[in-house]
Amino acid sequence: MSAIQLPQGDPTRDLPCAHGGPVGQGLMRAVPEDFVVEERLGYSASGEGEHAFLEIRKRNTNTVDLARSIAKLCGIRQVDVGYAGLKDRVAVTTQAFSVHLPGKPDPDWTILADEDIEVLSVARHNRKIRRGSLRGNAFRLRLREVLADRELLEQRLASIAAQGVPNYFGSQRFGHDGANLRRVHLLLTGELRKMKREQKGILLSAARSQLFNQVLATRVEAGNWDKVIGGDVLLLEGSGRQFIAETVDDELIQRAAEFDIHPSGPLPGRACRTLVPEGEAAWLETQALRDWADWIDGLARLGVDADRRALRLRVDELAWEWDGDDLLLSFALQSGSYATVVVRELLQVRKE
């Protein structure tokens, strides 16, 4: 048995920052309206088909719970309600849902509406919305009662706009105080066998996220999380293409600086078509994961395919202004990324 030290509490709390650490503190999500998320699917309803396509704004509401309410209203299985991703509960979020209604009329969608749910539009669509099928999300945050050197904070924001931030998986991925990781260990070592498919998927995702974060933390500490090193598996911006950095030349360095390519880290699983690092990059990954062999073997045994994820997160459309002592931030991120990993580079977040 490998000597895994599971983190106590939030497993992202002590991950190293790339820009020098927080320069102050502030209050996040005092009310849901302080955290606004707008989904960017990159496509719209086709106008015809067997699926209803709903655009919904929700407040203080869990995505899965809303999907369950939609299924109940329509008298269908919850699996026949599609959405591209899970959105934060303590927030105001806008996202699309598809509802499979072959040969059926639409129900009265106004029944869904209450003080926290607003149906913005309804159309027809020709396919189910699949998990992950979105371009990204736009965020508008209000960080209240900020105590920080404003000049230093704005310098940090400028650095983030230029360099991006480490593409950590956020704390939401691991359950309250990292509870999912303690269950994941039992699953991957074979001590936990019977589990619902959906819950099993959540735990497997948490496991891969933890392993990725371990590798990324090692690269942040080494100062090369945003740079190409020998043997890196590089990801081409905006596509799934991968290639190995056999030689780190001026061209690769320039392309990385321009966000055209990104160094990547592992989402472990069984060997498949994804590339594996070589040389220095392989050595760093091995060092970062040397105590996690049981988890890596368990993921492969359970049939999870290996993949790669960019180590660096580009922060687009970053803008900020002050409203008294409140900092108003807006930015856009690609799908699968977390607004909280941007905020952690700026401020230590406190709760009321």
pLDDT tens per residue, range 181-199: 988 888 887 777 778 888 8
Structure tokens at 21: 């650490």
Residue bearing the bigger pLDDT, 9 or 308:
308
Alpha carbon distance 84, 276 (integer Å): 28
Edge-to-edge strand ranges of the sheet holding 233-236: 242-244, 233-236, 261-267, 307-310
Alpha carbon distance 102, 52 (integer Å): 9
CA 334 to chain centre: 9
Catalytic residue at 88? yes
- The residue annotated as part of the active site, out of 88, 106, 108, 325, is 88
**Residue 186 pLDDT:** 84
Say if residues 177 and 57 touch (Cβ distance below 8 Å).
no
Structure tokens at 51: 């699926």
Residue 310, judged by CB atoms within 10 A of its CB (0-12, 13-18, 19+), counts as buried
**How does residue 270 score in pLDDT terms, banded at 50, 70 and 90?**
very high
What is the pairing mode between strands 92-100 and 51-59?
antiparallel
pLDDT higher than threshold 70 for residue 57: yes
**How does residue 352 score in pLDDT terms, banded at 50, 70 and 90?**
low
Average pLDDT over residues 309-325: 97
pLDDT higher than threshold 60 for residue 1: no
**Residue 220 pLDDT:** 98
How many other C-beta atoms lie within 10 A of the C-beta of residue 269? 22
Predicted TM-score of the model (pTM): 0.92
The span from the first CA to the last CA of the chain, in angstroms, equals 41
CATH topology for 24-28+166-313 is Pseudouridine synthase (3.30.2340)
CATH code linked to domain 43-125? 3.30.2350.20
Residue 351, judged by CB atoms within 10 A of its CB (0-12, 13-18, 19+), counts as exposed
pLDDT higher than threshold 50 for residue 225: yes
**Domain assignments of the chain as residue spans, ordered by start:** 24-28+166-313, 43-125
